[in-house]
C-alpha cells in the first residue's frame, strides 16, 4: 500500500534528521521545500566525478557563470558513477544542496571529456543524459567582451529538424531548457537581454562510423542598437562570447511514462481557465466568436435614392404591362378555341 502524503513527509523528515524525530528547524526547512503553485528558479548543482581534468573543471566553472546566482559548484571529487548505482548519492547531494538540476563532469580513458546532466523530481532522479564533449572554447578565450549580467536569462534557440524528429534529442531539448531557464518571468524587457545560446543539431560521421547527431552549442553577446532603417524595434548585434562546445549523446536514462506523466501534472490553481468562444491562433492572436439571432435580410428595406425609386416604379410598370399582355393573349386563344368547337364566339351569346 502506498504511503499517504503525511507519512511520506514524516519519512523524509526522519531521513534528513538521521532517523530521529525532526527538530523545529528541520520542519521549517521542509515546509520551504514543499511544492508550490508558482515555483522559482531551479537550483543547479555542479560537481566533479572520480577523475576530472582541468578542461572539464573549466566547463563546470563556465556553467556556473552562466547559471549564476542559482548554481553551486563543489570543488572536491566525488565517488559517483551516475549510470551504475550512483543515483542514490546524486539524490542525497541534490536534496542537501536544494538543487533540482545537476551536472557531473569526469574524464577517463573509456569516456574522455564526459559530462552528465540531469534533473530530479520529488527528490528522485528523473532524467539523465551523458554527453561527450568533442570541442570546447571557454569564456576566457573571448577577451575584451563585457560579462553577462548576474541573473539574466539567455535566449535559447534550437536549430535543426533533429530536435523534432529524434525522440532522444526532443527530451534533451526539454532538459536543456529546464537547465538554463533561470528565473520564471511574466514579461521581458529588451534592455535586459544580453546573450543568446544557439543549439544546432546535425548528423556527422567521425572516424568512419555511421552518422550520428552532433550538437553545436554557441553563445553570443547581444547588443541592441537603433534600427538604421528607422524601425521602432532595436536591431540585435551578436558577438561570439563563449562558452562554445560541440558534443554528442553517449547514454540516456529518461523517466518512465508513468513517472513523466506525474512530473508533468499541473495543479488546478495554475491551469488557465478555458474561455468560452475564444481561441488563439498560431500567431498568438486572440479570435472570438459571437452568436447572434438569425436575421431576415430579405424583408429589410433600406433608404433608397430618387433614381433607384424611379427605377423600381419603371420595373413594376413594365412587369404589370407584360402581365396584362399575357392575360390578353390567353383570353384571345380561349375565344378562338371556343369558336372552333361550337361555331360561334362568346360575344354572340
- The closest alpha carbon to 206, from 271, 250, 238, belongs to 250
> Quick check: 173 and 131 in contact, CB under 8 A?
no
Q: Evaluate the CA torsion angle 249, 255, 261, 263 in order and state its sign.
A: negative
Spatial neighbors of 319 by CB under 8 A, at least 6 apart, are: none
CA 103/CA 128 separation, integer angstroms: 9
- In this predicted structure, the answer to whether residue 40 has a pLDDT above a threshold of 60 is yes
- In this predicted structure, the answer to whether residue 341 has a pLDDT above a threshold of 50 is yes
Q: For residues 103-132, b (16+ Cβ closer than 10 Å) or e, as one string? A: bbbbbeeeeebbbbbbbbeeeebbbbbbbe
- Top pLDDT among 2 and 152 is at 152
87-119 confidence digits (pLDDT tens)? 888 888 988 888 889 999 999 999 999 999 999
pLDDT at 5: 61
CA 340/CA 349 separation, integer angstroms: 15
209-220 confidence digits (pLDDT tens)? 677 889 999 999
- How big, in percent rounded to 5, are the helix, strand and coil portions of the chain? 35, 25, 40
Rounded CA Rg of the chain: 38
Helix axes 54-67, 167-180, angle to 10 degrees: 60
- Top pLDDT among 178 and 122 is at 178
Which of 2-11, 167-176, 281-290 has the largest mean confidence? 167-176
Distances (CA, A) of 212 to 74, 247, 287: 33, 11, 43
- In this predicted structure, the answer to whether residue 135 has a pLDDT above a threshold of 60 is yes
CA 57/CA 246 separation, integer angstroms: 17
pTM of the model: 0.69
pLDDT at 1: 41
pLDDT at 116: 94
- In this predicted structure, the answer to whether residue 195 has a pLDDT above a threshold of 70 is yes
> Quick check: 23 and 29 in contact, CB under 8 A?
no
Pull the grid cell for residue 128.
Answer: 539523465
> Quick check: 32 and 95 in contact, CB under 8 A?
no
Pull the grid cell for residue 195.
Answer: 546573450
Spatial neighbors of 154 by CB under 8 A, at least 6 apart, are: 66, 148, 180, 182, 195, 196, 197, 219
- In this predicted structure, the answer to whether residue 17 has a pLDDT above a threshold of 60 is no
Average pLDDT over residues 278-288: 85
- The closest alpha carbon to 127, from 60, 175, 165, belongs to 175
Containing 235, the helix (H) or strand (E) segment is: strand 235-240
64-85 confidence digits (pLDDT tens)? 988 888 899 998 998 988 888 7
Mean per-residue pLDDT over the chain, rounded: 83
148-189 confidence digits (pLDDT tens)? 777 788 889 999 999 998 899 999 999 999 999 888 888 877
Q: Is 90 helix (H, G, I), strand (E, B) or coil?
A: helix
Amino acid at each position: 500500500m502506498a504511503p499517504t502524503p503525511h507519512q511520506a513527509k514524516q519519512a523524509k523528515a526522519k531521513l534528513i534528521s538521521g532517523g530521529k524525530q525532526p527538530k523545529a528547524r528541520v520542519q521549517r526547512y521542509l515546509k520551504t521545500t514543499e511544492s508550490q503553485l508558482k515555483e522559482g528558479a531551479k537550483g543547479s548543482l555542479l560537481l566533479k566525478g572520480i577523475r576530472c581534468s582541468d578542461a572539464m573543471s573549466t566547463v563546470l566553472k563556465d556553467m556556473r557563470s552562466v547559471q549564476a546566482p542559482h548554481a553551486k559548484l563543489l570543488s572536491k571529487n566525488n565517488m559517483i558513477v551516475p549510470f551504475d548505482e550512483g543515483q542514490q548519492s546524486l539524490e542525497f547531494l541534490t536534496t542537501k544542496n536544494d538543487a533540482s538540476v545537476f551536472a557531473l563532469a569526469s574524464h577517463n580513458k573509456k569516456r574522455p571529456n564526459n559530462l552528465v546532466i540531469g534533473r530530479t523530481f520529488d527528490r528522485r532522479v528523473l532524467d539523465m543524459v551523458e554527453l561527450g564533449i568533442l570541442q570546447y572554447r571557454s569564456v576566457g578565450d573571448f577577451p575584451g567582451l563585457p560579462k553577462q549580467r548576474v541573473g539574466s536569462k539567455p535566449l535559447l534557440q534550437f536549430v535543426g529538424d533533429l530536435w523534432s524528429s529524434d525522440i532522444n534529442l526532443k527530451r534533451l531539448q526539454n532538459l536543456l531548457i529546464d537547465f538554463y531557464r533561470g528565473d520564471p518571468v511574466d514579461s521581458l524587457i529588451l534592455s535586459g537581454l544580453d546573450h543568446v545560446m544557439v543549439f544546432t543539431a546535425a548528423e556527422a560521421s567521425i572516424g568512419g562510423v555511421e552518422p550520428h547527431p552532433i550538437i553545436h552549442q554557441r553563445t553570443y553577446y547581444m547588443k541592441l542598437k537603433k534600427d538604421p532603417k528607422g524601425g521602432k524595434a532595436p536591431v540585435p548585434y551578436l558577438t561570439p562570447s563563449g562558452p562554445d562546445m560541440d558534443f554528442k549523446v553517449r547514454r540516456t536514462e529518461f523517466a518512465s511514462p508513468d513517472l513523466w506523466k506525474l512530473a508533468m501534472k499541473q495543479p488546478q490553481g495554475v491551469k488557465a481557465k478555458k474561455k468560452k468562444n475564444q481561441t488563439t491562433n498560431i500567431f498568438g492572436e486572440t479570435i472570438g466568436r459571437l452568436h447572434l439571432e438569425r436575421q431576415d435580410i430579405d424583408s429589410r428595406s433600406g433608404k433608397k435614392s430618387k433614381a433607384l425609386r424611379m427605377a423600381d416604379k419603371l420595373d413594376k410598370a413594365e412587369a404589370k404591362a407584360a402581365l396584362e399582355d399575357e392575360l390578353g393573349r390567353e383570353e384571345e386563344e380561349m375565344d378562338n378555341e371556343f369558336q372552333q368547337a361550337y361555331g360561334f364566339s362568346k360575344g354572340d351569346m
